[in-house]
Amino acid sequence: MTDRRQPPLTEPFEIEGVRIPNRVLLAPLAGIGNWFVRMQARRYGAGMAVSEMVSSHGLHYGNEKTTSELMRIHPEEHPVSYQLFGQDPEIMRSAAAIAAESGPDLIDINMGCPVPKVMKTGAGAELLADPELALELAGAAREGSGLPVTVKIRSGIAPGDRSGFDLAIRLVEEAGVAAIAFHPRVARKGHSGSPDYELARELSRSIPVPMIISGGLSDAEAARRAYEESGADAVMIARGSFGYPWIFAELTGTEVPEADRQAIMDELLWVMDRAEEHLGTERAGRYLRKFYPWYLDRVDVPKGVKDELCQSAGLDRAREVVVSIRDRGAIPV
């Protein structure tokens, strides 16, 4: 197949009949991408957000945290996709059916996670070593959910391996997968090294469904370059959005406040409020410790302040500090 016309990132596209208002998406963020992080991305212009990775076993066996916290969708965040992971087709079929009940527009299957504790179960990027099982899983998710199924996949497991590329084509041709989110680095490289956007371009030419590029999109300029070099149909932003949802506005032209000290601290306060709403005060205080550096590093806050927030501050004290930084640029004692 030849290169397809590549429209601007602001142009809508479809994944098997699901209309997405632009081509800038939030990637699944393990341990992070809950409903309010997805809503934040949408507020700043993302066309769609994908949930954090959800265990198919957790859904099938009714794990309370999985079913009560990870399955929450805000009414205003559609279109939205749920990402599931696992290695048992029957459990995946059941989990996809349960996930569909909470109202996502799409189901995504993780075939790219390089984390050893996921791979050792046979899930994530380990599925590249068992393509027949991967095809079964995708088919089971489609049958169970009745929704379009997409797959997020790595290019291979080890350097020189293109098994993910080959599997992506088979997933589309044999399992009816509706789109591929392609991270053109091998699993053993993690997030290091340069993504192979030329390989991604080859995949885009080879499949008749959307190819969404992921990996290495650290800022808006990098995302635009990856989009052009890969010939993708959309971009999927992950780490480039940490503490900086403005990346979505920069790519889509969405009108938002300028990313100055006040706006960045206001956004952090919004995240803190939503985390408390979602998790309660005590758990939110612990959960937010990973978020603070992403925002505070952008406003030149002393290391001691970041250490306090990340190691010991409760939510009330953290709010006091953030408000003081926003309003006076000073730290309360």
Task: List, as one string, the DSSP characters of 101-170.
Answer: HT--SEEEEEE----HHHHTTT-GGGGGG-HHHHHHHHHHHHHHH-S-EEEEEEEESSTT--HHHHHHHH
- How far is it, in rounded angstroms, from Cα 205 to Cα 202? 5
Write the DSSP symbol of residue 193. Answer: S
Backbone angles phi, psi at 44, to 5 degrees: -95, 5
Query: Among positive and negative, which fits the CA dihedral 53, 143, 214, 278?
Result: negative
The catalytic site residues sit at 113
What is the per-residue DSSP string for 9-73? TTS-EEETTEEESSSEEEPP-TTT-SHHHHHHHHHTT-SEEEEEEEEHHHHHTT-HHHHHTTT--
**CA distance to 18, 40, 112, 238, 279, per residue, from 76 (Å):** 16, 11, 28, 21, 20
Q: Helices 261-279 and 35-43 meet at what angle, rounded to 10?
A: 150
